[in-house]
Amino acid sequence: DGGITQSPKYLFRKEGQNVTLSCEQNLNHDAMYWYRQDPGQGLRLIYYSQIVNDFQKGDIAEGYSVSREKKESFPLTVTSAQKNPTAFYLCASTRSFPGQGGTGELFFGEGSRLTVL
Amino acid sequence: AQSVAQPEDQVNVAEGNPLTVKCTYSVSGNPYLFWYVQYPNRGLQFLLKYITGDNLVKGSYGFEAEFNKSQTSFHLKKPSALVSDSALYFCAVRDGAGSARQLTFGSGTQLTVLP
- Percent of chain A predicted with pLDDT > 70: 95
Q: What is the DSSP letter of A98?
A: T
Residue of B nearest to A99 (CA): B97
Contact B94 A110 (CB under 8 A): no
Q: Which of B97, B30, B35 is CA-nearest to residue A98?
A: B97
Residues of B in contact with A106 (CB under 8 A): 34, 44, 46, 92, 103
pLDDT of residue A49: 93
The verdict on A71 touching B (C-beta cutoff 8 Å) is no
Identity of the residue numbered A86: T
Residue pLDDT, tens place only, A84-115: 999 999 999 998 766 666 778 899 999 999 99
Distance separating alpha carbons of residues A92 and B34, to the nearest angstrom: 15
Nearest CB to A103 within list B9, B49, B99: B49
pLDDT of residue A7: 96
Cβ atoms within 10 Å of A70's Cβ, excluding its own:
10
Residue A33 to residues B13, B29, B64, B74: CA-CA distances in angstroms? 34, 23, 27, 24
Distance separating alpha carbons of residues B113 and B65, to the nearest angstrom: 18
Residue of B nearest to A57 (CA): B101
Residue of B nearest to A42 (CA): B107
Is residue A59 within 8 A of residue A44, CB to CB? The reply is yes
E runs forming strands in chain A: 4-7, 10-13, 19-25, 31-37, 43-51, 54-57, 64-66, 76-78, 87-94, 107-108, 112-116
User: How confident is the prediction along chain A (117 residues), in pLDDT tens digits per residue?
Assistant: 679 999 999 999 988 899 999 999 999 998 999 999 998 778 999 999 988 999 999 999 999 999 999 999 999 999 988 889 999 999 999 987 666 667 788 999 999 999 998
The verdict on B53 touching A (C-beta cutoff 8 Å) is no
**Backbone dihedral angles phi then psi of residue A113, each to the nearest 5 degrees:** -100, 120
Residue pLDDT, tens place only, B31-76: 999 999 999 989 999 999 998 888 999 999 999 999 999 999 999 9
Burial class (CB in 10 A: 0-12, 13-18, 19+), B114: exposed
